[in-house]
Structure 1
Amino acid sequence: MTASRGRPRIQETADQIVASVLATAGPRVSTAEFSTRRVAELTGLSQSVVSRAFRRIRRAGEHAGRRGGERGGEDEAIETIRAVETSGRALQLGRVRVSFPEILVEFREVAPAEERAVSPRPTAFGRRAAAVMAALEVSGARGWPEQGEAAPASGESVRGLRVVWRPGAIGWEEFAGSVAGLLDRCLPVDDAVPGDLLQQLAARAGRGLHGVDWRRGEPVETRQFSDSESLAVPEYPAPGRASRWLPHAQLSVTEQIAIALRKEIMNAGYRPGDRLSAAPLASRLGLGAGTVRTAMRRLADDGLLASGAGGFSVPQVTGADVIDLYAARLHVGMVLLRGCAVQPRHRLLPARLALGAVEAAAREGGGADVDQADLQFQQELADAAGLDQSARSFHALTLRVRMFISVLQLDYTPAVERIVHDDRRLMAELIAGRAEEAVRTWRAKLDNAVRHMSALAPEAFDADLWARLSRM
């Protein structure tokens, strides 16, 4: 998606915004929900700018101008479109694998019987193809460091219909243009770019696509969101914010260990005061015990673990602790929401995508998935406000909320509908610039949350204290 000389900067920014929307859309990308008109409404961009972004991301037909410029040294890395053209057969995606330092995109020919049996859907297919290209663009792979002499591609190609990216072996534009060209040759039906692939790409878009390994015909585990996912420290270059418009997905070592701790507390049924050992966590995460102990000390410093001469233990959570925590989140959140309300609408895009994860978790997950997706949505709103110090404070408070949820063994299943309703209302009010209405919704949301959590605290809920601390 390189810009022509003199092209307005707004189009480059629009390309990044629209790519983030398409990359995280999943199988629904081919529905009217992701038409250019709806995406324009979602992002606050004009429909003409969005339409141009769709075309630039999709790169349809670009390969036609590249055929004469292919370099002989790239033949092994890109087995080009000429093989497709001589066969005359339509294609479909056969495999997509991302394993640093290599991305493999492989196609296969469609049997004549399959070609005759389908009803083409060119518009829907075009969006699905654009989602694949968008996922590659937001992955950050073009910035991967070179790894010295490139290793030969692994796996078997299918009649030469393979495109491989390795940093230093070929240019990113050559790679992307060749993938786009092969997509041009695909049968224009949904199955040419299957929904399970789009789901994998959407789930991993914020992690540089690392871990995607989809092969046609093989069952895959799909999920919308889960905070308890096993997260090892990455051995590949962390993509950071490959696109600033994607929801945040990268975690520090301390945060990864906090997630593992929460999972252990929940699974083992630990109660306040129970001892926690660094050794099992170190083994599970593939880290040194010293690294884990250092992270646990940081968590203890933040009040997320209890520490003493005997080591670390699950912290006590009192009713006063819960009220203190939620009063702090309430007031910091009010500042952040007022900041969000005056930002351009496109700054809210990561939060809007995170809201989609809340809705998906409500449809397909349990209460824990919805609650963790809700906390991620809240953090995206905090980051969108443009108030870095307040956002960092809010993030620290969110880590404490997550730990309290684990210690108290909270079940948010009965609150799912209310959580989704409140989040949708918050987003609608912020998009409309109604700051004080958003603040009132936030106040009601946290009032419900503090009472839900306090119900399981060992002390009775002090309604008067909460009323004094939460007064606006």
Structure 2
Amino acid sequence: MAHSPRGRPRVQESADDIVAGVLVAAGARVSTSDYTTRRIASLTGLSQTLVSRAVRRIRGAGTSPPASASQIGPGLQTSTGLQLARFRVQYPQITVAFEVADAGEPLQPTSFGRRSAALLAALWVSGAAEWQPTEADPDAPTVKRVEVDEAHPQNREAPEVGAHSLTAQWNPGTGSWSAFLTEVARLLDQCRPTLDALPGDLLHQLSSRAGQGLHGVEWRRGRHGAEKASHNSDSQRLALAEFPGPQVSSSHRSQSRVNRSATEQIAITLRKEMINSGNRSGDRLSVTLLAERLGLGQAQVRNAMRQLADDGLLSHSEAGFRIPHFTGTDVIDLYASRLHVGIVIIRASAAQPRHRLLPARLALGTLEAVATQGSLTDSGEADLRFQQELAEASGLRQSAHSFHALTLRLRMFISVLQLDYAPAVERLVVDDRRLLTAVLEGRTGEAVRIWRSKLDDAVRHMSALAPDTFDPRLWSRLTQ
């Protein structure tokens, strides 16, 4: 794609990432009429032209006609097409394998096309393009490598795919990310266009793990069709990807992880796992159990936990890692900090071009979806995501970083102190709608008043839930 003229907003690049987020968050619902380009345009506020172009770009090279049997490999009967056989993420490797499809399923090319776009969107937003090659970890499970035809030695410039293979594999350092995506798209083009070719339980897994770099996704087709998702899976929840943090040098969301180390990426996954596990203050965390649960090596998890300890999100001693003790004063202190940093961010966001606020509009749509069809326990998380998108739109790098750091601590506080925002979800939606409308219309003073009232309500809500823990008088002293 040609570079945009200097000074011209990269609207299409932003639209690509917004649309990718919508597709992957939909899970199996992506194949329904709720996810036409027209409906996505209505949800995001983007034009239908931008959305259609974004879907084509995400779909990448998946536009070629189906290959003949000789193109795929001798001896493979592909008249019925292919189907997905396995999707596995074992850091830092991703394996996407296909097999000859079962006959008999009805053809649904439109729905299959949407599912294909969702699978590629999950890879698009995963951040795996920036994964770095790592030395062998003695604690990590063994990864089986793809068989390569001896007559066609591996090309170091291409992803690890045998000439006659139906498997695409991403290994950092052995080829380009774009070549891997192109190969996955090519294999999707060879699939029989049925819903069973890309089962819904896989799409649910990708949706629920999209905010965690897809770490831990392990799906394999069973002998009698696709395997069902685990009963303990969170795949039925509306997926809420953890916000990746302020960008460093690019307006392109998919590049926002470029400056992260592998340890930082794993720390994000680990932090979300701890939040979702319902740990309490003082609970000891087992490196071994967390490594097994996430499918990562113990050395990688231990390094990530040390980073979380450096960030103040864990306590670390010779006895191991523990969830730190938080008090009501800590939480009110944090909310007061968010109030003042947020005022700076809102004033700056109100002066930005409207296109910079497109991600915030999408985040508001996610909150609205949570309120009507998602798990109510996700309402607080969706609200935090909306707030962080406003911080990102402000264009203030230091303020956005400070706000992001406060958000990470607030997520942990909410989980550890078991604060329930479900009863307040309707109020969250109303407040965020009013706030975004005021920012979009440049009514800065009103936007600041709404923001202050929003946090006042949050502190009153906490005080009502735990009057012995939270002191509203301290809040008044810090904020008046």
TM-score by length of 1: 0.69
Q: How far off is 1:82 after superposition?
A: 5.4
Q: How far off is 1:62 after superposition?
A: 4.3
User: Where does structure 1 lack aligned partners over 5 or more consecutive residues?
Assistant: 68-78, 230-239, 271-275
The equivalent residue for 2:375 is: 365
Q: What amino acid is aligned across from residue 183 of structure 1 in structure 2?
A: L
Q: Partners of 1:204 and 1:306 in 2: how far apart?
A: 27
Q: Is 1:447 paired with 2:456?
A: yes
Q: Is 1:28 paired with 2:33?
A: no
> Which of these residues, 210, 213, 226, is aligned with residue 218 of structure 2?
213
Query: Which has the higher mean CA deviation after the structures are superposed, 144-153 or 433-442?
Result: 144-153
The change in CA–CA distance for 1:178 and 1:459 in structure 2 (over 3 A counts) is: closer
Q: Partners of 1:160 and 1:370 in 2: how far apart?
A: 44
The equivalent residue for 1:124 is: 111
Q: How far off is 1:352 after superposition?
A: 4.6
Contact 2:27 2:206 (C-alpha < 8 Å) held by counterparts: yes
Q: What amino acid is aligned across from residue 205 of structure 2 in structure 1?
A: Q
The equivalent residue for 1:93 is: 84
Q: Partners of 1:277 and 1:460 in 2: how far apart?
A: 22
Q: What amino acid is aligned across from residue 204 of structure 1 in structure 2?
A: R
Q: SS of the counterpart of 2:196?
A: helix
Q: What amino acid is aligned across from residue 412 of structure 1 in structure 2?
A: Y
RMSD: 4.9
Deviations 1:350-374 (A, max 9, x none): 445544554565544353x432343
Q: How far off is 1:451 after superposition?
A: 0.6
Q: What amino acid is aligned across from residue 19 of structure 1 in structure 2?
A: A
> Which of these residues, 167, 188, 205, is aligned with residue 183 of structure 1?
188
Q: Partners of 2:12 and 2:411 in 1: how far apart?
A: 39
The equivalent residue for 2:140 is: none
Structure with more helix by fraction:
1
The change in CA–CA distance for 1:243 and 1:347 in structure 2 (over 3 A counts) is: farther
The change in CA–CA distance for 1:28 and 1:470 in structure 2 (over 3 A counts) is: farther
Q: What amino acid is aligned across from residue 365 of structure 1 in structure 2?
A: S
Q: Is 1:330 paired with 2:330?
A: no
Contact 1:332 1:390 (C-alpha < 8 Å) held by counterparts: yes
Q: How far off is 1:449 after superposition?
A: 0.8
Q: SS of the counterpart of 1:187?
A: coil
The equivalent residue for 2:95 is: 104
Q: What amino acid is aligned across from residue 128 of structure 1 in structure 2?
A: R
The equivalent residue for 2:51 is: 50
The change in CA–CA distance for 1:134 and 1:54 in structure 2 (over 3 A counts) is: same
Q: Partners of 2:92 and 2:310 in 1: how far apart?
A: 34
> Which of these residues, 185, 205, 209, is aligned with residue 204 of structure 1?
209
Q: Partners of 1:103 and 1:254 in 2: how far apart?
A: 19
Q: How far off is 1:5 after superposition?
A: 8.6
Trace 1:51-90 onto structure 2 (pairs within 5 A): 51-59=52-60, 62-63=63-64, 81=72, 87-90=78-81
User: Where does structure 2 lack aligned partners over 5 or more consecutive residues?
Assistant: 137-142, 149-161, 243-251, 291-297
Trace 1:344-423 onto structure 2 (pairs within 5 A): 344-355=353-364, 358-359=367-368, 362=371, 363-367=373-377, 369-402=378-411, 404-405=413-414, 408-423=417-432
The equivalent residue for 2:468 is: 458
Deviations 1:175-218 (A, max 9, x none): 43333233223333433322222222233334433322222322
Contact 2:31 2:112 (C-alpha < 8 Å) held by counterparts: yes
The change in CA–CA distance for 1:352 and 1:91 in structure 2 (over 3 A counts) is: farther
Q: Partners of 2:270 and 2:215 in 1: how far apart?
A: 20
The change in CA–CA distance for 1:44 and 1:108 in structure 2 (over 3 A counts) is: same
The change in CA–CA distance for 1:337 and 1:186 in structure 2 (over 3 A counts) is: same
Q: Partners of 1:443 and 1:65 in 2: how far apart?
A: 57
Contact 2:309 2:315 (C-alpha < 8 Å) held by counterparts: yes
Contact 1:326 1:446 (C-alpha < 8 Å) held by counterparts: yes
Contact 1:14 1:45 (C-alpha < 8 Å) held by counterparts: yes
Trace 1:418-429 onto structure 2 (pairs within 5 A): 418-429=427-438
Contact 1:104 1:165 (C-alpha < 8 Å) held by counterparts: yes
Equivalences, count: 423
Deviations 1:128-178 (A, max 9, x none): 2122223233334445456799973179x9x95333343455554544333
Q: SS of the counterpart of 2:312?
A: helix
Q: Partners of 2:273 and 2:54 in 1: how far apart?
A: 40
Q: What amino acid is aligned across from residue 413 of structure 1 in structure 2?
A: A
Trace 1:150-299 onto structure 2 (pairs within 5 A): 152-153=145-146, 161-167=166-172, 169=174, 171-216=176-221, 217-220=226-229, 221=233, 222-224=235-237, 242-244=254-256, 267=279, 276=282, 280=285, 285=290, 286=298, 296=309, 299=312
The equivalent residue for 1:235 is: none
Q: SS of the counterpart of 1:186?
A: coil
Contact 2:67 2:190 (C-alpha < 8 Å) held by counterparts: no
Q: Partners of 2:25 and 2:171 in 1: how far apart?
A: 24
Deviations 1:233-258 (A, max 9, x none): xxxxxxx9644499x99967887887
Contact 2:65 2:189 (C-alpha < 8 Å) held by counterparts: no
Contact 1:257 1:295 (C-alpha < 8 Å) held by counterparts: no
Deviations 1:45-84 (A, max 9, x none): 54334323322322466445999xxxxxxxxxxx953569
Percent sequence identity is: 49
Deviations 1:417-470 (A, max 9, x none): 33344334444554555544443432332222111112314278546x756755
Q: Partners of 1:334 and 1:194 in 2: how far apart?
A: 45
Contact 2:213 2:269 (C-alpha < 8 Å) held by counterparts: no
